[in-house]
Chains A and B, each alone.
Chain A
Amino acid sequence: MFDITPTEWTAILLSLRVAVIATLVATPFGIALAWLLARRDFWGKSMLDALVHLPLVLPPVVTGYLLLLTLGRRGLVGAWLADHLGIVFAFRWTGAALACGVMAFPLLVRPIRLSIEAVDRRLEQAASTLGAAPWRVFATVTLPLALPGILAGMVLGFAKAIGEFGATITFVSNIPGETQTISSAIYALISTPAGDAAAMRLVLISIAIAFAALIGAEWFARRATARLHGN
């Protein structure tokens, strides 16, 4: 039962790599956007908010197809990136990370936005009277106080990214060793005769990863919250 084959290992490691990269790359953008939505009023704000949440409500296959249309080899942006910068997303693991990042983005942004909204603005005012320029107020007060929410967002984003299936398989297909993640490997295995045992192994592994991520996140969040309460 627990003889994990090299193909399965490849899928597991690829899933981890894709989810970690997707989360790490998406987080700074997520923080910037969450701050914008929490603290600024501007024209088109509700449109931007809706756009961020779109991947949450669209069928994943639609998001994947839209990515293929724009960032595929013949897509408007994709062709330009390939010709000028040599960056190719289509049918590569980087494309899988991009698809996972896009799908995870709304789940990443939401807790961060809520935690920035919860930061006491009076503390930010106090920081500015002590001589802190706006970006330093953000770096030394807002960001550390929003840390539990940022961690929560990263874990949710990671969990979504590791489980993503629809958009990924549509955008980058299911190529073993390049774009075959745990999810798409399971999908391939359960449609193969005698693939059940292998599928079950991967199912158990994905449950273990999910548990570890949630427990780790809970522990981090608790520590961060205790720190913030000044105890």
Chain B
Amino acid sequence: MLRLDVRKQLGEFSLEAAFQSEGRVTGLFGASGAGKTSLVNMIAGLLTPDRGTISLDGEMLDDAAARVHVPPHRRRIGYVFQDARLFPHLDVSQNLDYGRRMNGLAADVAQHKRITDLLDIGPLLDRRPGKLSGGERQRVALGRALLSKPRLLLMDEPLGSLDEGRKVEILPYLIRLRDEGIPMVYVSHDAAELRQLATQIVMLKDGRVTSFGGVKVLS
């Protein structure tokens, strides 16, 4: 379970949010500029809160008062960015393998096969990121995050940079992922997308949580 109660000042913008995830997929919903990405960056450890705490499954990740800040590489929290961020100097298979190598995990052939099958990225393994379409890139980014065996998966508008046709292509994969059972925080400004994926909604507006609850808060 993810618990979070944080404050952060970013220039003129102040972010103050508290919630705890209960369901499998927590949807962070809000317009652009509501503070969704900053919040997710704090969960990942890329941004340190000014005040407050973040904990995951009982482990304290951030506690500003006690000066606790677990760095991103020790959090085991996967992150799928809107812009994929595949490593351009590595081919798809090396990108997929990166997290396993960095975490010193043994090769898990079964898991690798299951995830490449789940995302249909088997035929792309020898390619370089520059030769992939937007949708393919996003699928590889998903696979890369999953193969690092995270405790929680953060997804920041993973469909945001894709056109309608590509969104329809990716959405079924995301639904399959949700049914895999890995806890997720899913950021979107698209209510329809969240209705299909999320089990719980946190609504953000101008850096504050305005509502919280089941998918019905979207309507």
Assembled-state Cα–Cα distance A130/B154 (Å): 12
| B91-115 with Cβ < 8 A to chain A | 98-99, 102-103
Contact flag A128-B72 (CB < 8 Å), given A227-B89, A230-B88? yes
Write the chain A residue with the least CB distance to B99.
Answer: A130
Q: Does A125 contact B (CB under 8 A)?
A: yes
Assembled-state Cα–Cα distance A134/B73 (Å): 8
Contact flag A130-B85 (CB < 8 Å), given A125-B46, A229-B130, A231-B131? no
B76, A131: Cβ atoms under 8 Å?
yes
Assembled-state Cα–Cα distance A127/B103 (Å): 11
A123, B73: Cβ atoms under 8 Å?
no
Write the chain B residue with the least CB distance to A128.
Answer: B72
| B42-97 with Cβ < 8 A to chain A | 44-46, 71-79, 81, 83, 85-89
Q: Does B184 contact A (CB under 8 A)?
A: no
A228, B46: Cβ atoms under 8 Å?
no
B88, A126: Cβ atoms under 8 Å?
no
A231, B46: Cβ atoms under 8 Å?
no
- DSSP majority for the A interface? helix
Q: Does A223 contact B (CB under 8 A)?
A: no
Assembled-state Cα–Cα distance A144/B91 (Å): 14
Assembled-state Cα–Cα distance A145/B81 (Å): 20
Contact flag A130-B145 (CB < 8 Å), given A230-B130, A230-B131, A231-B131? yes
Assembled-state Cα–Cα distance A145/B88 (Å): 8
Q: Does B139 contact A (CB under 8 A)?
A: no
B89, A230: Cβ atoms under 8 Å?
yes
Interface residue range, chain B: 20 to 34
A128, B71: Cβ atoms under 8 Å?
yes
Instruction: Say how far A134's CB is from chain B's closest CB, in angstroms.
Output: 8
Instruction: Say how far B11's CB is from chain A's closest CB, in angstroms.
Output: 18
Q: Does B36 contact A (CB under 8 A)?
A: no
Cβ-defined partner of B46 (8 Å) among A129, A130, A136:
A129
Q: Does A122 contact B (CB under 8 A)?
A: yes
Q: For B83, what are the chain A residues with a Cβ–Cβ distance below 8 Å? A: 122
Q: Does B30 contact A (CB under 8 A)?
A: no
Q: For B131, what are the chain A residues with a Cβ–Cβ distance below 8 Å? A: 230-231
> Beyond A129-B75, A131-B102: 14 further Cβ-contacts under 8 Å?
A122-B83, A125-B85, A127-B87, A128-B45, A128-B72, A129-B44, A130-B98, A131-B74, A131-B76, A131-B99, A132-B102, A140-B102, A229-B88, A230-B88
User: Which B residues have a C-beta under 8 Å from some C-beta of A?
Assistant: 44-46, 71-79, 81, 83, 85-89, 98-99, 102-103, 128-131, 144-145, 148
User: Which A residues have a C-beta under 8 Å from some C-beta of B?
Assistant: 120, 122-123, 125-134, 136-137, 140-141, 144-145, 227-231
- Pull 21 A–B residue pairs with CB atoms less than 8 Å apart, ordered by A: A120-B85, A122-B81, A123-B85, A126-B81, A127-B98, A127-B102, A129-B79, A130-B73, A130-B99, A131-B99, A131-B102, A131-B148, A132-B102, A133-B102, A229-B130, A230-B88, A230-B128, A230-B130, A231-B128, A231-B130, A231-B131
Closest 3 CB pairs of A and B: A230-B130, A230-B88, A130-B99
